């Protein structure tokens, strides 16, 4: 099954690790995520060391850097602080590419109307968040995820917390969303 994504209940005061569905639930399609520039692949996590499909994605997109990261209270120094910074809304100057090898977690991204969409990644899910998209990350109640991080060249993980309306990556992202809309309108025409 493909990943699940849904609009979040933003009024909920529940734990960030809970799903925070709206009532009734409002799921979001992969097409809608693609309109936001969020890309998704389903791969075989058992075979990540010899996976031709992963190799192809890495070659095509120039992801020559790779590392692995376990996120859970036992393995991350200053766990609480770290998770707090991951869950603070931010952007990056580059794509954020994460491949889930074990466990599960949530990436939240803002849509065009500034609504939060929660994307539930599990083993086998590779997602790419475009540069300039507002997002945040949290573990779910399973409290464990093993992620592969990919990057083009020397990795830069710098997070720029919202607001970042003057950041070049943000401006470019907003511009690309406009172009996308015009493209869709022309297609309809
Ligand atoms: C980031 O920028 O590292 C995040 O958004 C957290 C996700 S994966 C550690
Ligand atoms: Ni990030």
Q: What is the CB < 6 Å shell around ligand 1?
A: 86, 96, 98, 135, 137, 147, 157, 159
Structure tokens at 35: 């309109």
Report the nearest-CA residue for atom 4 of ligand 1: 86
> What is the share, in percent, of the chain residues with pLDDT greater than 70?
98
Cα–Cα distance measured from residue 124 to residue 126, given in angstroms and rounded to the nearest whole number:
7
How far is the centre of ligand 2, averaged over its atoms, from the C-alpha of 187 (Å)? 32
Contact criterion met (CB below 8 Å) for 8 and 20: yes
149 CA closest ligand 1 atom index: 8
Contact criterion met (CB below 8 Å) for 97 and 149: yes
86 CA closest ligand 1 atom index: 6
Structure tokens at 53: 């499909």
Contact criterion met (CB below 8 Å) for 154 and 148: no
Give 189's pLDDT tier (boundaries 50, 70, 90).
Answer: confident
Task: Say if residue 112's pLDDT is above 80.
Answer: yes
Cα dihedral sign, 110-139-29-22: negative
Task: Say if residue 125's pLDDT is above 90.
Answer: yes
Q: pLDDT digits over 66-86, tens only?
A: 999 999 999 999 999 999 999
Cα–Cα distance measured from residue 177 to residue 11, given in angstroms and rounded to the nearest whole number:
27
Check the annotation: does 167 bind a ligand: no
pLDDT of 128 reads: 98
Check the annotation: does 135 bind a ligand: yes
Cα–Cα distance measured from residue 123 to residue 142, given in angstroms and rounded to the nearest whole number:
13
pLDDT of 164 reads: 98
């Amino acid at each position: 099954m493909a990943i699940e994504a849904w609009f979040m209940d933003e009024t909920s005061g529940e734990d960030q690790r809970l799903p925070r569905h709206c009532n009734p639930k409002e799921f979001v399609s992969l097409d809608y995520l693609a309109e936001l520039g969020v890309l998704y692949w389903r791969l075989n996590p058992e075979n990540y060391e010899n996976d031709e499909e992963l190799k192809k994605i890495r070659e095509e997109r120039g992801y020559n850097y790779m590392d692995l990261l376990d996120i859970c209270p036992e393995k991350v120094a200053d766990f609480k602080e770290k998770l707090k910074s991951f869950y603070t809304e931010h952007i990056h100057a580059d794509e954020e590419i994460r491949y889930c090898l074990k466990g599960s977690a949530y990436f939240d991204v803002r849509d065009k109307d500034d609504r939060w969409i929660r994307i539930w990644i599990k083993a086998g899910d590779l997602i790419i968040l475009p540069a300039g998209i507002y997002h945040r990350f949290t573990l779910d109640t399973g409290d464990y995820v093993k992620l592969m991080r990919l990057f083009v060249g020397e990795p830069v993980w710098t997070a720029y917390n919202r607001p970042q309306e003057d950041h070049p990556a943000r401006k470019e992202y907003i511009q690309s969303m406009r172009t996308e809309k015009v493209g869709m309108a022309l297609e309809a025409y």
